[in-house]
Structures are given as C-alpha cells and as structure tokens.
Structure 1
Amino acid sequence: MEFAMEMLWRVVDAILHMLMQPFLYISLILIILQYRRQVMLERKLFSVKMHALGDQIIRTVLGGLLAGIGVSIVTVFTGMTLTLGAIVLIWCVSLVLMLFRVRYLCLAYSVGALGILQFVVSWFPSWSMDGFAGSVLVTLRELNIPALLALVAILHMAEALLIRWQGAKFASPLFLASKRGKLVGGYQMQSYWPIPLFLMIPTQTTGTILPWTPFFGGDAWANGWMLMAFPVVIGFSEMTQSRLPKDKVRWSSKWLFAYSVILLAFAMISGVWSPLTLLTALVGIGMHEWIHWYSTKEETERSPLYVHDERGLYVMAVIPNTPAAELGIEPGEIIYKVNGTKVHTKEELHQALRMNPAFCKLEVLNLSGESKFLQRAIFAGEHHQLGVVLAPDQDASFYVGMGPTSIFQIVRMKLAGVQSRMKM
C-alpha cells in the first residue's frame, strides 16, 4: 500500500512537471500546423475539406495519451537512466533534424545521431570544454544510448499499433504527377502523435525501493527511484498511388513493428555488451531509412491504382455528409452507370445526373468488381458530383509534387507542394 501511494504521488508530481515543459506545447503547435496545412491543401485541390481540424487534433491527442500510458508501463520494467539535460539535448537534436526533413522529427534519428556522436567523442576521453559547450559534452558522454534505443523500439511498437488503428483515418486524397508526367490520384497519410512519457529512473531518495530490478541501470536501483516526465513525438508519413489507404497502413504497420522488435533486441544486447552500441545506433537509423526507401521504391514500381479505365470513373474519396456518403459509396469503387447511362468522364457524369435532377440511380462496381445498385433523391444545394472525389483527368488545375518537404521549403512556399499547371 505504501508503494502504491508513493507511485500515485510521483505520477501527479510528474504530470505537473510535464505541463510546465515547453516541449509538450512545441509538439502540439507543430502537429496543429501540419494538420492545418493538410486542410488548406484539400481546399486548394477539391474546394472542400475532407477532414475536420478539431477531429484530427482530438484523435491525435487521445491516441498519443493511450500510447504514452502503455509505453510508460512497459518502461517500468526496462528502466531508464536520464537527466533533464539529456531530455533538452535530445529535443534540440530532433528540432535541428526536422529543419531538413519533417519526418526526421522522430526519436530514432535523434537518439541514433547522439549514439554516433557519443562514439566519436569516446575516442577523445581527455577532450574537455568550458561553459555551455562543456556541459553539453558531459551530457552527451553520460547518455545511456542502449536504454534510449530500447525506448525508441518500444515507442515504434506503439506507433505501429497507432498506424494500424488510426492511420487510414488521416489519409488525404491528392492529385500527383506520375513518373511519366501524367496525373494520377493518390493518398498522403501523415500523422504525428504527442506522447507523454513517465519514465522511471534510479536516483538517491528516501522513499521505498522498487520490488523488482529494471533491466537498465543495474545496482543504481538499490538507492531509490523517481518518475521523470518526457514528452516526445512519434509519427509517420506515407504517400501511395498504388494501394488503398487501409492496405498501405497495414503494410506500413507490419514493417514498422518488425523494425521495433529487431531494434529492441539489439538494444537489450548492447545494454549487456556495450561495444555493440554503435551498431545498434546505426541499425536504428539505417533500418528506419530502409523502410522509407523500400516503400518509395515499391510505389514507383507498382502501377497507379487511382486512374479511370474503360469500366467507368474511379472513386478516390467520399466527402463526409454528402449524398455519396449516404448512398454507401466507398473509396476504390467505380461508378459504372448513372441513370442507366455509362460514364467515362466527369462531363458524362454531369450530363447523366442532369437527365433527372431530382433523383439518381447508380450502378457501382465494388472492390470485388461486383455490381451494386444505389438510388436516392437529389435535393437543391447538394454537391454537384454527389460528393465523390474522382481520380484526376489531365485537365486538373492543381496537383502536388512528390518530393519530400523540409521546414525551409514549407516557409518559402505559400502552400507546400501545390503547383499550378497554368504556371508550368
């Protein structure tokens, strides 16, 4: 009972310290800016927003909170040796890396980079500096890289589960330029979760001793423990033009979970045998980059999915609260006939709908290629295209570039990635 009461008090104390840290609010601001950019892009491309900014923020915060609780419980048994200076150093490295690529706002890159720097510094044991630089050097040398990489692995396990659970809900349709210069449809799935971590670390205290010994820390746990609040951001960014969002999410979460298991094994081994630490840091960065490279390579080699064919008009997305949503049309289906007329272009779709402005009958091919028949009354003021976002034709006014975006590019561009074909 005494241990439980002490744990409760320290959790409350850690929460208060978390709320006073600027990094939590920095992460929330960055996430909100990313989602706002996505909503602006949807308005530019489709003149309507596919996602509500408030819903995205609530979903993100809720998912991050649940992941933070789960990861914090797991790390109670792995343990951690960490200082406030180490937290500041990790966050500073993360923010610097983010300037070059937004997706580098990931603990795998910052901890991996610090592991490499620590290895380089270890070759100069007598090297010392004064002032602020000296304190940074001391903090770098004292980092427990294996424990931090284990934390990275556990966080990526949580990320894989979040991607599987929420990833498809953040998917946003886009018009893309293919490698042959033709416009095709695609999806961008980009989400970031703020994770409030409460890490148990060994320290000199007068409180109770843990009834178990965590993996990292060794004899240091014999002198007591405390909880340290540590906010981090996890997230993923994928673009697909050859899979449905739910299929791409399933693929990404599978590879990410495998990455986390391998990295955790390396981290646990390097915690016992320190010469493996550098290799583990390189594995943390290298495998993460390989997954991104392989995903991009696979996308370029697969045929585009979001294009019209001889059967009819391919549905990329369905706008919420529209006739198409009420009819049960789903992304990936094909509009084959409208009011008994086959349609192959948007113009033919509009002409077929005008044949009976008050009512429409649809024949739609589902994901299995089977026909389903839908009908509904049409009321004044409803979406002129029933509320479906169709794959682009070659007359589309705007499309999105495929290249990765840095913070520098975001600042320079009025709307990141959007290019007007009228200016090309």
Structure 2
Amino acid sequence: MNIALYVFRSISQAIITPPYIFILLILVFILYTRNKKTVIMQKMIIGEKMNSSLELTISQVVLGIFAGTIASLILSYLGIVFTSQTTVTLLFMISIILMIFGSRFICFSYSAGILALISVAIQFIEGVYHIPIPQLDFLKVDVVMIISLVAVLHIIEGLLVIIDGDRGTIPVFTNKNNRIIGGFALKRYWVMPVALMFIMNNPNISYSAQVPIQNWWPIIKFSSHDLIRDAFIGFFAFYGMIGYNAITFTRTKKQKVISSGIGISVYGLILLLFAQIGRINLAAEFIVAIFTPLAHEIMLKIQTYIEVNGKPKYVSSDNGLMVLEVAPASPAFEMGIKSGDLLIEVNDKKIVNEQDMLDVLNTVSNFIWFKIKTVHGKLEQVDYNKMNRNKRLGIVFVPRIIPKDSVVMKLDRSSFQDTLEKAKKDKKDKK
C-alpha cells in the first residue's frame, strides 16, 4: 500500500477542507494573539521587537504542518493503528482537565499514562473478579498503541524545539546569591496536524481513504496485528498543539533549545522502545503506564537540576556590564556587539555600573565607541557615528543593580501574562 500517498492526502484535507480549515484558522488566531504579547514585551524590554507577530506565527504553522506530516508517516509505517476515535478524544479531554493543575500537564505523557492506568484497572477488575463492566468499554485502550503515539509525538517535538524553539525569547532577570543574573524565557507552540490510522470495521469512524493491508506491514508487529491483517484501514486527521516552555540562566538560547530538544527526543525514543513491553501481559501494561509520566517528570527534574546548579552565563562584574540581548538593525547590532560580550568602556570611560552607561548615553552627540571583551575573550573596540539622544542603542545588559529608569523584568516562575501586565504597569507609571 502507498502509505505516504494517503498520509499526504489526509494532511492536505486537514489544511484546506471544512471543518478542519476553520479549526486551523482559530488556532492560528490564538497563536498570533500570543505572539503579539511576546512582541510587545520584547519592545518594552529591548526597545525594539526581535521578531514580528506574523513571522513568529508563520514559522509555528509551517513548521508544525511539516512536523505533523513527518509524525504521521512515522506512525503509519510503524503500524500504530486504533479501533476507535474515542481513544484520541479521551487523550485530549484528559489533557485539558489536567491543564487546570498546571500548564505543563497538558503534555500527552500524563494524559496517556492516566488513560492507560484506567484501562488496565478495568481489565484487572473484569479478569480477576469476573465482573463485566460493558459501560466502561470505551475506556479500554490499546496501551502499546497510545503510548507509542505519545512517544513519536515527543520525538518530533524535540526536533521542533531544536529548529524553532529559540524564536520569540524574552530577556529575564533573577537574583542568585545576591547577584543579578540574566537569562531567557522561551515559550513556543506549534500547530500540528496528525493523520492517524483507524480500523474501518467501526461504522462511526469518518475517514478519508480505505487502505488495503499488505503482508510486509506493519514494521513493528504490535499486539493488534492479527486483528488488522485482513482489515481495511482509514485515515483520520486531527489537530494537536505542541508546546515548549523553559527558562535558562546557564546557557545561550540556542544551547538551551538544543539540549532540551535532544532530551525530549531521547525520551520519546526510549518511550517508544519501552512501550513494546506492554505486549507481554496486563502487568507489563501497568508498568508502561506508570513509566510514561514518571520518565517525563525525571527528564524535567534533570533539566531543572542543571539550571539550578549550573554556572550563570550572563552576569556583570567589576570588569564591566554583560550584554544579554542585542536588537536587530540597532546601533549595537551594526557595531557587531553580540549577546555574551562584556562592555568594559564607553567613550574612554570605565563602565563600573549601569549608571556610568546611562550617563554617557544621555550626553552623547553622534559618536559613541565601546571597548568590549567578546564572548570568545578577545578585546575589541567598536564605534558608531550616527548616534543621537532619540536613538536607542539596542542593548539589554545585565545590571549590577536594577536602574530606576529602566524597564527590567524579574521572572522566576510567574507566567508570561503576569510579566506582560507588570511591564504595562511600569510603562503607564512613567507617563
């Protein structure tokens, strides 16, 4: 069978045909609204926007569609197939309920683990106590299939994080050991259409195509292989939202998304292999169900441990002020100043603290020059001859003390919305 053809056809239908296109437009609008808030925060903190709302949204949608297609191909060739749409629906519903307890619980690792445990519990009661519960049959799922689905989605999520996770970052500050350290808050979502295979013997399933099964399929012989050997398979597309949320004070933006992306993909790969244990018996399914959210929590704890115990990367010192972020197309950008550089002197004046910087910027006419120590440890002098008082330098530096005249956000575990409201209030108070 030409699996790829049916996958591409299902994904294309999810993009251009009703009602899918309306769902896509709603999700795009939600992303665009979130990105507008991000751009506002960037402009308040940096002085210039790093990205446009449209640019951020387009990358989320285009890369999400591409990633969804790849995920659908992997799922289909592996032979991950379901007997009912109810399984996927339950997965989403549980994720939404769990989101009440924290945004990170929207991850399918938790909802899949809970759904698998419920299924195992029902089967255990029916098998051991011989008490049939037909009313709960819709809660009985193929644990191997659903955990494998979650595993593949995490592998693809890791790749998305590596490729696009460092867009739309917000400079943030915190206090550690009585020192102000700088870092970045990263928050990205991607719209991902996924085409799943369903056995066509269920009349309630809507589908885009009937695909005859051939002997070589599936690649991985799952527990339901005998059931689907002579069956017809249909594709059903749905939209998922993949999210990434992190804060780093010990790495650059790119280093953070690469390490996080690798961690997420490795977790997905391990989970995919571990899920196959569920084919043994009900006890093995129970182990897989417990392992799924537990391993995800361990992965998050490891990343948190690295951040908490790692050496801060962006810290100013007696030698100068550390550059945290540089706005594109700004005077600082044209001078070649980069994130991680240390500002040592400005116009031949030693930079002891942030007030020294502000004093020079308030009196400069049109020429400004810096002595900097680059991120590679090299001393350089850079200059700019088109400066004026109305032009922003385009640098976010890590203060040794927080200047009263600056819009500086301190972010620990507060949400982006809280930070945005704080920025708006600070700006309003200045007027």
Q: TM-score normalised by the shorter chain: which range applies?
A: 0.7 to 0.9
Give the distance between the partners of 2:146 and 2:422, measured in 1 at CA. 35
1:236-275 counterparts in 2 under 5 A?
236-271=244-279, 273-275=281-283
Q: Do the aligned partners of residues 341 and 92 (structure 1) sit closer, same or farther apart at CA in structure 2, a change above 3 Å counting?
A: same
Corresponding position of 1:111? 112
Judge conservation of contact 1:177–1:401 (CA < 8 Å) in 2.
no
Residues 227-283 of structure 1, C-alpha deviation per residue, up to 9 Å, x if partnerless?
Answer: 110222222211111221122222212222221121011113324555322222222
Judge conservation of contact 2:370–2:382 (CA < 8 Å) in 1.
yes
Structure 2: runs of 5 or more not aligned = 203-208, 427-431
Give the distance between the partners of 2:403 and 2:190, measured in 1 at CA. 33
Give the distance between the partners of 2:315 and 2:238, measured in 1 at CA. 45
Letter in 2 for 1:138: D
Judge conservation of contact 2:120–2:282 (CA < 8 Å) in 1.
no
Corresponding position of 2:217? 213
Corresponding position of 2:125? 124
Corresponding position of 1:358? 366
Secondary structure of the residue aligned to 1:168 is: coil
Give the distance between the partners of 2:377 and 2:158, measured in 1 at CA. 31
Corresponding position of 1:194? 191
Judge conservation of contact 2:364–2:387 (CA < 8 Å) in 1.
no
Secondary structure of the residue aligned to 2:167 is: helix
Judge conservation of contact 1:335–1:363 (CA < 8 Å) in 2.
yes
**Superposition deviation, residue 88 in structure 1:** 2.1
Corresponding position of 1:338? 346
Give the distance between the partners of 2:18 and 2:87, measured in 1 at CA. 15
Structure 2 residue 413 is matched with structure 1 residue 403: yes
Q: Do the aligned partners of residues 100 and 297 (structure 1) sit closer, same or farther apart at CA in structure 2, a change above 3 Å counting?
A: same
State, as a whole percentage, how many aligned pairs show the same letter.
Answer: 24
**Mean Cα displacement is larger for which, 255-264 or 49-58?**
49-58
Residues 132-189 of structure 1, C-alpha deviation per residue, up to 9 Å, x if partnerless?
Answer: xx4xx33211x222112112111111111111112222322112243x4653211111
Q: Do the aligned partners of residues 402 and 67 (structure 1) sit closer, same or farther apart at CA in structure 2, a change above 3 Å counting?
A: same
Equivalent residue pairs, number: 408
TM-score (norm 2): 0.83
**Superposition deviation, residue 309 in structure 1:** 0.9
- Alpha carbon RMSD of aligned pairs, Å? 3.3
Give the distance between the partners of 2:103 and 2:320, measured in 1 at CA. 38
Q: Do the aligned partners of residues 9 and 360 (structure 1) sit closer, same or farther apart at CA in structure 2, a change above 3 Å counting?
A: closer
**Mean Cα displacement is larger for which, 6-15 or 325-334?**
6-15
Judge conservation of contact 1:401–1:418 (CA < 8 Å) in 2.
no
Judge conservation of contact 1:105–1:233 (CA < 8 Å) in 2.
no
**Superposition deviation, residue 201 in structure 1:** 2.6
Letter in 1 for 2:117: I
Judge conservation of contact 1:185–1:391 (CA < 8 Å) in 2.
yes
Residues 375-399 of structure 1, C-alpha deviation per residue, up to 9 Å, x if partnerless?
Answer: 2222446534x10001134334653
Give the distance between the partners of 1:23 and 1:203, measured in 2 at CA. 25
Corresponding position of 2:65? 65
TM-score (norm 1): 0.84
Letter in 1 for 2:75: T
Structure 2 residue 337 is matched with structure 1 residue 329: yes
1:166-205 counterparts in 2 under 5 A?
166-178=164-176, 180=177, 182-204=179-201
Corresponding position of 2:206? none
Give the distance between the partners of 1:25 and 1:271, measured in 2 at CA. 40
Corresponding position of 2:137? 138
Give the distance between the partners of 2:153 and 2:116, measured in 1 at CA. 18
**Superposition deviation, residue 197 in structure 1:** 0.3
Give the distance between the partners of 2:124 and 2:21, measured in 1 at CA. 34
Secondary structure of the residue aligned to 1:402 is: coil
Letter in 1 for 2:274: F
Give the distance between the partners of 1:357 and 1:152, measured in 2 at CA. 59
Structure 1: runs of 5 or more not aligned = none
Secondary structure of the residue aligned to 1:310 is: coil
Judge conservation of contact 2:249–2:314 (CA < 8 Å) in 1.
yes
Judge conservation of contact 1:18–1:24 (CA < 8 Å) in 2.
no
